[in-house]
Amino acid sequence: MVEAVIAGVQEGCRDFQVDARLIGILSRTFGEAACQEELAALLAHREGITALDLAGDELGFPGTLFRNHFNQARDAGWHITVHAGEAAGPESIWQAIRELGAERIGHGVKAVEDPALDGLPGRAPHRD
């Protein structure tokens, strides 16, 4: 599946002369073991992936459970993005930054609850 997606994106980039990058997403809701299987499939095609993301239930499956996964992603040379600060609050954003190495925070709507997250020169990840 991963190989087919990468091939399709590469073909589209060639055909339409655009640049696109792929972010692999681990769904934390399925647990650590399932995420490790997903990660193994992505790592088998590491050259076609730019970053790794963690999405899903941050209350039931905090980022700390996935430290090993993100260590592997960084070892592969990937950028790190984490969906955090939606249900669990700003502490989950800090956890994503400190424990998973997040460079980008998906959504992060609860960041407004911690003024320290609005700054951190040179360290604050992008929020979307």
Q: Which of 3, 11, 47, 86 does the annotation list as catalytic?
A: 86
Residue 116: inside a domain, yes or no? yes
Give the chain as a 3 state SS string.
CHHHHHHHHHHHHHHHCCCCCCEEEEEHHHHHHHHHHHHHHHHCCHHHCCEEEEECCCCCCCHHHHHHHHHHHHHCCCEEEEEECCCCCHHHHHHHHHHHCCCEEEECHHHHHCHHHCCCCCCCCEEC
Residue 21: inside a domain, yes or no? no
Residue 2: inside a domain, yes or no? no
Residue 123: inside a domain, yes or no? yes
Q: What is the pLDDT of residues 46-103, one digit of tens each?
A: 999 999 999 999 999 999 999 999 999 999 999 999 999 999 999 999 999 999 999 9
Identify the domain containing residue 54 by its residue range: 26-127
Residue 66: inside a domain, yes or no? yes
Give the number of domains in the chain: 1
Residue 122: inside a domain, yes or no? yes
Residue 20: inside a domain, yes or no? no
**113 belongs to the catalytic site:** no
Residue of higher predicted confidence among 108 and 14:
14
Residue 76: inside a domain, yes or no? yes
pTM for the full predicted model:
0.90
